[in-house]
């Protein structure tokens, strides 16, 4: 029996070798395929993990301590307190607690942007917090105890079920009122009291204060006509005739298109309030030195009788230095 088995193996040695070779080859191929499949799964998991790490930057505020513009360090304690206030504001808004969120705003922010909770809801909350939000902050500037942060607001990943690349950018400024930190939002930096006045024989100009935003400044003025003629504060024949001048002699134009023409007319001895928006980006690097009205019409009646208005010569300028 044993001899027959040996003879059978010897006669079919090549076939047996081929069968064993194929069997081993199949096992090796299966192992290779399994290894490749496992590697792909691991790579996918790593990509998902990396993507998750990228989006979690919005779950907490970004704790930088040096301003982008001011480039000065404010210290970790101050920075942490500021970010806690911003986060608390966001938490109240996400929870729909409008009164609590509104109470975190400064008096100036309430007075000039949101006089009451309803205006805060309509102008800001309904547009920005119409869904659950997350944010990150970056210290942008600090000046005289106020701290401005660039705030990036995105959808809450967990609440919305996925990451949305669309974002809203705003600037929040932390100010102190009666020893308590408060917020200026909606790109409002703050109010600066100026209280400067100049008097000439033709007119008087007083600058009460300015409202500073990230992209522009609004100057609150009072002007008085000291003559017995009606004057026109600007002919509007050209642009850039009412402007600010900084310490490097750069000019920032006032936007008179937002001012009604009647508000530029001063009757004899009349006093009139006026607000003018100037196209100046917020920065503490350039000090504004003066405000200039360079094309005041001294006699409006005579000016209107002039056929070619550019030929009218009785013009004066009025400049106030800060």
283: confidence class by pLDDT, cuts 50, 70, 90: confident
SS3 content of the chain, % helix, strand, coil (to 5): 35, 35, 30
Residue 312 has pLDDT above 90, yes or no: yes
Q: Give the per-residue pLDDT at 185.
A: 98
- Which letter does DSSP use for residue 250 in this model? -
Q: Give the per-residue pLDDT at 3.
A: 56
The interaxial angle of helices 13-55 and 2-11, nearest 10 deg, is 70
Q: Give the per-residue pLDDT at 127.
A: 94
- Which letter does DSSP use for residue 248 in this model? T
What's phi and psi for 51, nearest 5 deg? -65, -40
Q: Give the per-residue pLDDT at 51.
A: 35
70: confidence class by pLDDT, cuts 50, 70, 90: very low
Buried b (16+ CB within 10 A) or exposed e, 105-143: bbebbbeebbeeeeebbeebbeebbeeebbbbbebbbbb
Residues 188 and 209: beta-carbon distance below 8 Å? no
159: Cβ contacts below 8 Å, ≥ 6 apart: 131, 132
Parallel, antiparallel, or unpaired: how do β-strands 242-246 and 251-255 relate?
antiparallel
61: confidence class by pLDDT, cuts 50, 70, 90: very low
Residues 77-120: pLDDT tens digits? Answer: 889 999 999 999 999 999 999 999 999 999 999 999 999 999 99
Query: 292 forms bridges with which residues in the sheet?
Result: 243, 319
Residues 121-171: pLDDT tens digits? Answer: 999 999 999 989 998 899 999 887 899 999 999 886 555 555 555 789 999
286: confidence class by pLDDT, cuts 50, 70, 90: confident
CA gap 167, 171 in Å, rounded: 13
CATH number assigned to the domain covering 191-321:
2.60.40.1240
52: confidence class by pLDDT, cuts 50, 70, 90: very low
Query: 249 forms bridges with which residues in the sheet?
Result: none
Helices of type H across the chain: 2-11, 13-55, 76-94, 98-103, 107-112, 117-120, 126-128, 157-160, 300-305
Instruction: Calculate mean pLDDT across residues 202-226.
Output: 97
245: number of Cβ within 10 Å? 17
Residues 255-270: pLDDT tens digits? Answer: 999 999 999 999 999 9
Q: Give the per-residue pLDDT at 164.
A: 54
Q: Give the per-residue pLDDT at 144.
A: 79
Residue 22 has pLDDT above 80, yes or no: no
Q: Give the per-residue pLDDT at 155.
A: 80
Domain boundaries in the chain?
A: 58-186, 191-321
Q: Give the per-residue pLDDT at 142.
A: 87
223: number of Cβ within 10 Å? 21
Residue 189 has pLDDT above 90, yes or no: yes
Half-sphere exposure of 91 (CA within 13 A, CB side): 10
CATH number assigned to the domain covering 58-186:
3.10.450.100
CA gap 169, 287 in Å, rounded: 26
216: confidence class by pLDDT, cuts 50, 70, 90: very high
The whole-chain average pLDDT of the chain stands at: 84
Q: 3-state DSSP call for residue 125?
A: helix
Residues 225 and 203: beta-carbon distance below 8 Å? yes
Could you tell me the CA-to-CA distances from 126 to 116, 119, 121, 187 in Å, in that order?
14, 10, 6, 17
198: number of Cβ within 10 Å? 15
């Amino acid at each position: 029996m044993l001899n027959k088995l040996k003879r059978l193996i010897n006669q079919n040695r090549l076939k047996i070798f081929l069968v064993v070779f194929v069997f081993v080859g199949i096992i090796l191929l299966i192992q290779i395929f399994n290894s490749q499949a496992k590697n792909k799964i691991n790579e996918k998991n790593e990509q998902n993990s990396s993507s998750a790490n990228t989006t979690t930057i919005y779950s907490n505020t970004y704790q930088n301590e040096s301003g982008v513009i001011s480039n000065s360090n404010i210290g970790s304690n101050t920075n942490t307190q500021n970010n806690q206030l911003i986060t608390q504001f966001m938490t109240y808004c996400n929870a729909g607690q409008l009164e609590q969120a509104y109470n975190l705003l400064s008096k100036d922010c309430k007075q000039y942007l949101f006089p009451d909770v309803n205006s805060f809801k309509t102008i800001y909350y309904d547009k920005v917090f119409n869904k659950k939000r997350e944010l990150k902050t970056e210290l942008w500037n600090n000046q005289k105890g106020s701290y401005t942060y660039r705030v990036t607001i995105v959808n809450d990943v967990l609440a919305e079920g996925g990451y949305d690349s669309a974002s809203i950018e705003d600037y929040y400024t932390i100010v102190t009122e009666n020893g308590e930190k408060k917020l200026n939002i909606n790109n409002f930096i703050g109010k600066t009291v100026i209280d400067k006045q100049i008097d000439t024989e033709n007119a008087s100009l007083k600058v009460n204060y300015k409202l500073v935003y990230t992209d522009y400044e609004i100057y609150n003025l009072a002007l008085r006509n000291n003559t017995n003629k009606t004057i026109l504060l600007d002919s509007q024949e050209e642009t850039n005739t009412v402007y600010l001048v900084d310490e490097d002699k750069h000019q920032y134009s006032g936007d008179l298109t937002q001012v009604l023409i009647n508000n530029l007319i001063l009757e004899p001895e009349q006093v009139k309030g006026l607000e003018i928006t100037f196209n100046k980006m917020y920065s503490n690097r350039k000090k504004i030195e003066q405000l200039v009205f360079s094309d005041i019409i001294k006699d409006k009646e005579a000016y209107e009788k002039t056929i070619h208005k550019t030929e009218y010569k009785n013009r004066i300028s009025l400049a106030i230095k800060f």
